[in-house]
Amino acid sequence: MPWRVPGRMPHRGTEPLPATRQASLMSAAPKPDDFFNTKQIRRLISLMEKHDLAEVDLKNADQRVRIKRGGEVVVGPSAAAPRAAAPAPAAAAPPAVDSKMVVITSPMVGTFYRASGPDSAAFIKVGDRIGPEKTVCIIEAMKVFNEIPAGVSGQVVAVLVENGHPVEFGQPLIKVDPEK
């Protein structure tokens, strides 16, 4: 009779498993090259919900997973990684109140800055004419300063966020009149 340690399950022996049982255990285990398996993705989603994250984008070797809340889940081979400081273009969406106005929205969660530094002039002010490539603000996210282009031509009608305030993904930042 094998001896037992209190509170532990008895040892079942060291005999090998039958070949059919070994095969079923091996097929159920994630492959070493399959880093983003279903279990990992479910864990990422629960962490996103717990920490109120809008988007997660991870890369491991040649695999990449991008999860957006209320959006898509993309798992596949990694494309060439974009530059870390390259900003996503600001999405221009029409507001509900004035149909001719265009609203520049935040492409990410972060901190909104109207200028490149505390002693620098603001990128734009009300009444300025801007082009699609004009930098309208900076959004700091995880110590990376992302310059946000206007994405539209027109005259700045309003800046909707105070300097140094946090912004959410999709939050309206600036109103532009494209007809002026």
Q: Residue 180: CB partners within 8 Å, gap ≥ 6?
A: 129, 154, 155
pLDDT tens digits along 44-84: 888 878 888 788 778 877 777 777 776 444 454 544 444 44
Among 12-16, 143-147, 157-161, the range scoring the smallest mean pLDDT is: 12-16
Amino acid at 94: P
Q: Which two tokens stand for residue 119?
A: 């002693």
Q: Tell me, what's the pLDDT at 165?
A: 94
Q: Residue 73: CB partners within 8 Å, gap ≥ 6?
A: 41, 65, 66, 67
Q: Tell me, what's the pLDDT at 81?
A: 40
Say how far apart CA 25 and CA 21 lie, in whole Å: 6
Amino acid at 97: V
Q: Tell me, what's the pLDDT at 6?
A: 52
Q: Tell me, what's the pLDDT at 156?
A: 93
pLDDT-based confidence at residue 32 (cuts at 50, 70, 90): low
Q: For tokens 């890369």, name the residue.
A: 59
CB-count burial class (<10 Å; 0-12, 13-18, 19+) for 175: buried
Say how far apart CA 155 and CA 177 lie, in whole Å: 5
pLDDT tens digits along 86-141: 444 444 444 444 568 899 999 999 999 999 888 999 999 999 999 999 999 999 99
Q: Tell me, what's the pLDDT at 153?
A: 92
The residues facing 58 across adjacent strands are: 65
Q: Which two tokens stand for residue 173?
A: 């930042």
Length of the chain: 180
Residue 33 · residue 88 · CB < 8 Å: no
Answer whether 0.85 is exceeded by the pTM. Answer: no
